[in-house]
Structure 1
């Protein structure tokens, strides 16, 4: 009886004090994600509501590149700004796809049951590197877990994926000549979106030399250092 009375009082209050309900403003869409500037600076790729779009860097109308009920995200540009790689859940987990920057049919590159997230094209333009938790090195002391991914590459022409290294790497990018890979590590299970995070498992920046196969620390602190980029050239 008390619940019915409370409900009637609430309905009476709502009727006495009507509120204007505004339709959402679609002219300014919110939650545009994974923004990526093309190497030539002319376009910005991003994901919105599970599809991939590009828009001129100077402003203008966005071009929708993918239309699919699956979730498409994580766009990255080729060095000549003519292609994009992205992840898609079209076959259950995230796989790597590529598509022309002008639009067209997306091509699937990876077929593994693990989640694959592209992070860069090779300087030669014929490969895509991506993070995926598949198989740790036999000599690795890191506990195998889907949280800690390794770095792989796959050819645009398709074929077998190749592991570059087994250290936990995210957001990995090449320098101009392909001699170095810049990435941030992941050491543990902490929520990646935790604000003001300070601990022993925060991310640090590393360089991997593709010639001597050695790792070189760039940062080492209790604070989050992440999302590395090269400023230009090899420096």
Structure 2
């Protein structure tokens, strides 16, 4: 009788241990963690993204990648064996601009599913962004993909190269300041590194902008006194002074049909946004606020204008109708934002925000956001000055 009681007790203990092992020990050591990309990372539309995860647990047999609630890819365990520690790489083709939520789910032999915490990938339009940076000591022109990857240096030398503008044909305009000399407008083919001085004049020439058809260049020059807007052909010929104001003018921006230019003008110590017709020279004032309004940029559709303003405190990005009405604030960075430029399709804006690791101008970092101010995405993160970004067409040279 005593032996039977002892046997029954041992059976109970064994069953208890099995229960403890299944219900307590296994869950503590079983999990799935996404290693890369980091949550919130941007990626260009059409790119194939590798999503790496690490799974641990008994008898793992199958991994699944889910994106936006849809099963995208299934990977069986190697050679059909059960796994206890498994490094998994899934692939996903980035489709559809905006945020996408994904997770990795791993199945074991018992039918249990281990799932990673949801992560987000931000899909941005395909293209490249040119910008100026002093990360090499002096300012040079770089490009990067619109997701911040594939950084490429386009200029090099002792000069200060800034204010890039990209043509549809793949040529790069920029302002270059030589040591001990003035600033001139240069053009180069990034594919050949050949660079040509288009102005070579007394005074400072800067802020070059290709016309929408690449047949004309607008730029700012102080060669005859205050800074004014000038026009010239793509080879530097046919120079023409477009504005002749008593006050300084900066930051020209073409209308998408090439008929009009926006610019910022300082009148009575305050900057405001104006437009001027290229043929008739007709002026129109678009802002009249006690705060600074500048860095105007016309949308590709011609219906909105982005600009920077300090009208609500710190300088932020705004947009308004083409006639200056209905201003709408797009950003709210604590230390400010500036220099908006539209993507070719008008759906996104690249800009600069003072969010870097250093102070002053070296706190400027490059961001993109949707044209309504949603989905801001940081593209650079360093202690240098990353500034003057422009959107370039995807193509040879960039």
Superposition TM-score, scaled by structure 2 size: 0.44
**Secondary structure of the equivalent of 2:218?**
strand
CA drift of 1:63 comes to 1.2
* RMSD over aligned Cα atoms: 2.6
User: Which runs of structure 2 are paired with 1:159-198 in the superposition (5 Å)?
Assistant: 159-167=325-333, 168-187=336-355, 190-192=359-361
Does residue 229 (structure 1) correspond to residue 390 (structure 2)? The answer is yes
- Cα 1:155–1:212 change in 2 (3 A) is closer
User: CA contact under 8 A between 2:209 and 2:217: conserved in structure 1?
Assistant: yes
Aligned to 1:55: 232
CA distance in 2, matches of 1:165, 1:65: 33
Aligned to 2:274: 97
User: Which runs of structure 2 are paired with 1:46-85 in the superposition (5 Å)?
Assistant: 46-49=219-222, 50-85=227-262
With 202-211 and 60-69 compared, the bigger mean Cα shift is at 202-211
When Rg is computed on C-alpha atoms for both structures, the one with the higher figure is 2
CA drift of 1:165 comes to 2.3
- Cα 1:76–1:65 change in 2 (3 A) is same
2:318 to 149, 152, 165: 152
CA distance in 2, matches of 1:226, 1:178: 21
Gaps of 5+ in 1: 1-26, 136-143, 193-200
**Secondary structure of the equivalent of 1:110?**
coil
Deviating above 6 A after TM superposition, structure 1's stretches of 4 or more consecutive aligned residues are none
Does residue 43 (structure 1) correspond to residue 219 (structure 2)? The answer is no
CA drift of 1:103 comes to 4.3
CA distance in 2, matches of 1:185, 1:64: 33
Instruction: String of CA shifts for 1:100-123, please: whole Å, max 9, x gaps.
Output: 123412100001011111331112
User: CA contact under 8 A between 2:365 and 2:381: conserved in structure 1?
Assistant: yes
CA distance in 1, matches of 2:295, 2:371: 18
CA distance in 2, matches of 1:191, 1:32: 25
**Secondary structure of the equivalent of 1:222?**
coil
User: CA contact under 8 A between 2:273 and 2:296: conserved in structure 1?
Assistant: no
Count of matched residue positions in the alignment of Structure 1 and Structure 2: 190
CA distance in 2, matches of 1:203, 1:104: 35
CA distance in 2, matches of 1:129, 1:71: 21
Does residue 217 (structure 1) correspond to residue 390 (structure 2)? The answer is no
Instruction: String of CA shifts for 1:68-94, please: whole Å, max 9, x gaps.
Output: 111111111122222110011235411
CA distance in 1, matches of 2:274, 2:373: 30
CA drift of 1:157 comes to 2.4
User: CA contact under 8 A between 2:253 and 2:262: conserved in structure 1?
Assistant: yes
CA distance in 2, matches of 1:62, 1:154: 32
